[in-house]
Amino acid sequence: MSNVPRIPQTTPTGGPTAPPASSPLASARRIRLRIAVAAVATAVAGALLIWTVAVPLGGLDLEVAAAGQRVGPASILGAVLIGGAAAWLLLALALRFPYGRTVWTGVAVAVLVLSLTGPVLSGAAGTVLAVLELMHLVVGLVLILGLRRSSVPAVGAGRTVTAEAS
């Protein structure tokens, strides 16, 4: 068998069909912009909602003791946008390879697990630690699930093939 990608065949109505599962084109994927943006925006909203419940409503003082820095809306927004952009970029690069989405998911879960050590190493304890860990979990899970969902097969993505009666 050669390594030359096969051209997708057409149906009797002239529309494209999906490439065979053994084809190199079968693993090609693209990212749907709307879903990816929604994932990052939802991650931001989730973290800010947790912060709102904990700080203004709950009276908790979220401060990273090691850095002497308060965790506020601006720092949350910046961290989530930078993390989301990095995850999105890594996904876009990973999708160029076979099993890229699966590998990306594994890397993303590993990064999430590592990020959970940040609040612990910063010296946070008690309720502050619980809130920071919850923020990390919500942001990480929303980004992983949302960005993973945003990747779709590149060939025929978003197309509907209809059959016409003659």
Q: Which residues, in sequence order, are bridge partners of residue 63? A: 70
Phi, psi of 34 (to 5 degrees): -60, -40
33-76: pLDDT as tens digits: 999 999 999 999 999 999 999 999 999 988 877 667 889 999 99
Q: Is the pLDDT of residue 17 over 60?
A: no
Beta strands in 6-149 (DSSP E): 29-31, 63-64, 69-70
Q: Tell me what percent of the residues of the chain surpass a pLDDT of 70.
A: 73
Q: Rounded to an integer, what distance in angstroms lies between the CA atom of residue 15 and that of residue 10?
A: 5
CB 142 within 8 A of CB 43: yes
73-89: pLDDT as tens digits: 999 999 999 999 999 99
CB 120 within 8 A of CB 64: no
20-34: pLDDT as tens digits: 444 444 456 889 999
- The more confident residue out of 139 and 98 is 139
CB atoms within 10 A of CB 136: 21
Nearest alpha carbon to residue 134 among 69, 90, 85, 76: 76
Average pLDDT over residues 118-137: 92
Q: Rounded to an integer, what distance in angstroms lies between the CA atom of residue 119 and that of residue 140?
A: 14
Q: Is the pLDDT of residue 15 over 60?
A: no
Q: Rounded to an integer, what distance in angstroms lies between the CA atom of residue 137 and that of residue 159?
A: 35
